[in-house]
Amino acid sequence: MAYSRDNNNNNNESNRLLAAVDWFTVLIYIVLVIAGAFSIYAATTSSTSQTSMFDLDTFAGKQIMWIGLSFAIGFSLLLIDRRLYEAYAYPIYAIMIIVLIVTIFVSPNIKGSHSWLKFGAFSIQPAEFAKTATALALAKLFSTYGFQLKGWRTYIVPVGIILLPVLCILLERETGSALVYFSLIFVLYREGMNGFVLFATLCAVTYFVLVLKFAGTLIMGIPLGNFIVLTCIMVFIVLMLLVYCRSLILGRNVTIGYIVCALLAWGLSAMGVHINGYAFFFTVIPLSIIYLLIGMFRDDLNKVLTTVIFAVVSIIFMFSVNIVFNHVLAPHQQNRINIALGIEEDLKGKGYNVNQSKIAIGSGGVTGKGFLQGTQTKLNYVPEQHTDFIFCTIGEEQGFVGTTAVLLLFLTLILRVIAIAERQHTTFGRVYAYCVASILIFHLTINIGMVIGLVPVIGIPLPFFSYGGSSLWGFTILLFILLRIDAVRTEYGTW
């Protein structure tokens, strides 16, 4: 067995392993954690008392300690046999779920959340480690012989694996961490889920934002948000006909029809005839649908029907957004969304963090104010700056150059992880790698989007940057297990 041979040629094996590790990823990782430590130092030293960066009483000093331990953990993980991860994926997942459930009951209340396990002076957040466990379990499931996503029944187990920790974490009142698991939809998509589901999900989010954001202004007698969404629907119909149905004739005819109608409406309103927006859209879109329903029998019936259904559901969804928003969401949720969308300015209350964060970033300019020179940072204008809002330290002190560099580093890391995923020889490796990529995509999108005011405030950390041992260790473990699994690929040649 490979295991005993490893023992016999331990030295030789280790050398070969180290050679096989994806050092490029390790390098990005090291750059990110060190930049993170400096940012935390900048964010937490006060202007009056300059403490050493290595002072263990400060956040920066502690973070450096976490980083040191992370390196040890990462190195240890590289030494563990890769097959153990695969073999123990389910037990690890089961243990994590138990820990999450226990946490709900034993955790002290910290700012309303019950997600911390305390061991004396030391506390950890199990939710940060549950991501790795879930990724392993999902990878294990997909690597089961003969498992394929085909038919809705096959979705039950993977969706269950994803939703179980979500449920636990929601009960811990850590909504942000729970939402992270929904990013695993990318993994399902990569492993065979109908792409239309992903497309529909993204459309729904887009419609939601547009309808609410532009509800205030009127155009042609209807809210601008609805106007844009209806226009989008028309564009999507055309795109779906051309790209998804590959029906050039239908696509072309519908396009010509839309353009003629739009020009006609434009000409009439230029002549002073008032045209109601709804009257226009609900004449043009149903006409095109009737045309498609007739035309589909000459074409790919299923796909054209899907397009028609998509259009109808989109319109229904658009109208239900307002109803859902006003009657289903709780006021504080409405608030958060309103502030993130810039509909409401509440600079003293819920919008304070985001506003101060934007000021910090915006005041950085091209090259920033310089390390430790940020006034917003030093004078504590942004709450939680060393944790969730760490990115604005970079923005203020390193400017556009710094923020661009950090974003590009993350982008490189994620694209690298996707590349690693695709070069895996095992389904286990590939699915695990996509889990890592999806989780990083979600954290990056939400955290930075929140800090620059594009996304509602959802309290999740920026990977490798934000202060906190649990978060750093969680991401280190997530990444280094991937590196260990990836390092195996060269061994195939010897097998």
Partner 1 sequence: MRKDYNLEKRKFVIGGFIVVVVVIYLWKLFDLQIADDKYREIAVSNARSTKVTHPSRGQIYDRNGKLVVYNEPAYDLVLVPKDVHEFDTTTMCKILQLKREDFDLLWKNMSDPKKNKNYSATTAQPLVQNLDSITYGRLQEILYRFPGFDISQRIIRRYNYVAAANILGDIREVNAEDIERDSDNYYMPGDFTGDLGIEKSYEKYLRGVKGKEILIRDATGKIMGRYNDGKDDVAPIAGKDLQMSIDIDLQLFGEKLMRGKRGAIVAIEPKTGEVLALVTSPTYDPSLLVGKDRGKNYSRLVSDPSKPLFDRAIMAAYPPGSTFKPTQGLIFKQEGIIDNNTSYPCTGGYVNKGLKIGCHGHGSPISLQPAIATSCNGYFCWGLYYMLNNKKYGGLEKSFTVWKDYMVSMGYGYKLNIDLPGESRGFIPNYQFYNKMIGKDKWGANSIISIAIGQGEIMSTPLQIANLSATIANRGYYITPHVVKQIRDVGISKTFTEQHHTKINPAYYNDIAGGMRMAVVGGTCKGANLPGLDVCGKTGTVQNPHGRDHSVFMGFAPKDDPKIAICVYVENAGFGAQVAVPLGAMVLERYLRGASEEIESRATKWSDSWLEDAATVVEQDQEELNTGKRDTIPSKSTASAKHGGDDNLPATQWPQEKAILSSPTRFMSRDGIFKG
| Using rule CB under 8 A, residue 118 touches partner 1 | no
Kindly state whether residue 179 participates in binding partner 1, applying the rule CB under 8 A: no
CB of 304 to partner 1, least distance (A): 21
What contacts 188, CB < 8 A, 6 or more positions away? 149, 155, 158, 159
Q: Which stretch binds partner 1 (CB under 8 A): 5-13, 182-190, 288-296, 330-338?
A: 182-190
DSSP string, 158-173: HHHHHHHHHHHHHHTT
Q: Which segment (64-72, 259-267, 326-334, 433-441) binds partner 1 by CB under 8 A?
A: 433-441
What is the distance between the alpha carbons of residues 311 and 285, in angstroms, rounded to a whole number?
Answer: 9
**Which run of H or E residues covers position 205?**
helix 195-213
Shortest distance, CB of residue 79 to partner 1, whole angstroms?
A: 26
Burial 456-493 (b: 16+ CB within 10 A, else e): bbbbbbbbbbbbbbbbbbbbbbbbbbbbbbbbbbeeee
Record the tokens describing residue 176, joined without a space. Answer: 């942000």
CB-CB neighbours of 147 under 10 Å: 15
Binding pattern for the stretch 355-374 against partner 1, x by CB under 8 A and - elsewhere:
-x-xxxxxxxxx--------
- The amino acid occupying position 223 is P
Q: How far is the CB of 258 from partner 1 (least distance, A)?
A: 25
Contact between 144 and partner 1 per CB under 8 A: no
Q: Closest distance between partner 1 and the C-beta of residue 49, in Å? A: 11
Query: What one-character DSSP code corresponds to residue 390?
Result: T
Among 35, 229, 448, 458, binds partner 1 (CB under 8 A): 448
Binding to partner 1 (CB under 8 A) within 397-426 occurs at: 399-400, 403-404, 407-408, 410-411, 414-415, 418, 421-422, 425-426
With a CB cutoff of 8 Å and minimum separation 6, the contacts of 124 are: 116, 117, 469, 470, 473
φ, ψ at 218 (rounded to 5°): -110, 145
User: Of 140 and 288, which has the nearer Cβ to partner 1?
Assistant: 140
> Contact with partner 1 (CB under 8 A): which of 68, 192, 286, 349?
192
Give whichever of 418 and 472 is closer to partner 1, judged by the CB atom: 418
Helical residues (DSSP H) of 222-344, grouped into ranges: 224-239, 248-270, 277-295, 301-327, 331-340
The correct pick among 20, 30, 157, 198 for binding partner 1 (CB under 8 A) is: 198
> How far is residue 457's CA from residue 176's CA, in Å, rounded to a whole number?
9
Is 449 near partner 1 (CB under 8 A)?
Answer: yes
Neighbours of 226 (CB within 10 A): 24
Could you give the string, one character per residue 46-85, with x where binding to partner 1 holds by CB under 8 A and - elsewhere?
xxx-------------------------------------
3-state secondary structure of 218: strand
Nearer of residues 124 and 141 to partner 1, judged by Cβ: 141
**Which one of 45-53, 86-94, 210-218, 236-244 is the stretch in contact with partner 1 (CB under 8 A)?**
45-53
> Is there binding between residue 434 and partner 1 (CB under 8 A)?
yes
Q: Which is nearer to partner 1, 399 or 456 (CB)?
A: 399
Q: How many residues bind partner 1 (CB under 8 A)?
A: 54
d(CA 16, CA 18): 6
Q: What is the DSSP string of 43-57?
A: HH--SS----TT-TT
Contact residues toward partner 1 (CB under 8 A) are 46-48, 186, 189-192, 195, 198, 356, 358-366, 375-376, 379-381, 395-396, 399-400, 403-404, 407-408, 410-411, 414-415, 418, 421-422, 425-427, 434, 437-438, 441, 444-445, 448-449, 452-454
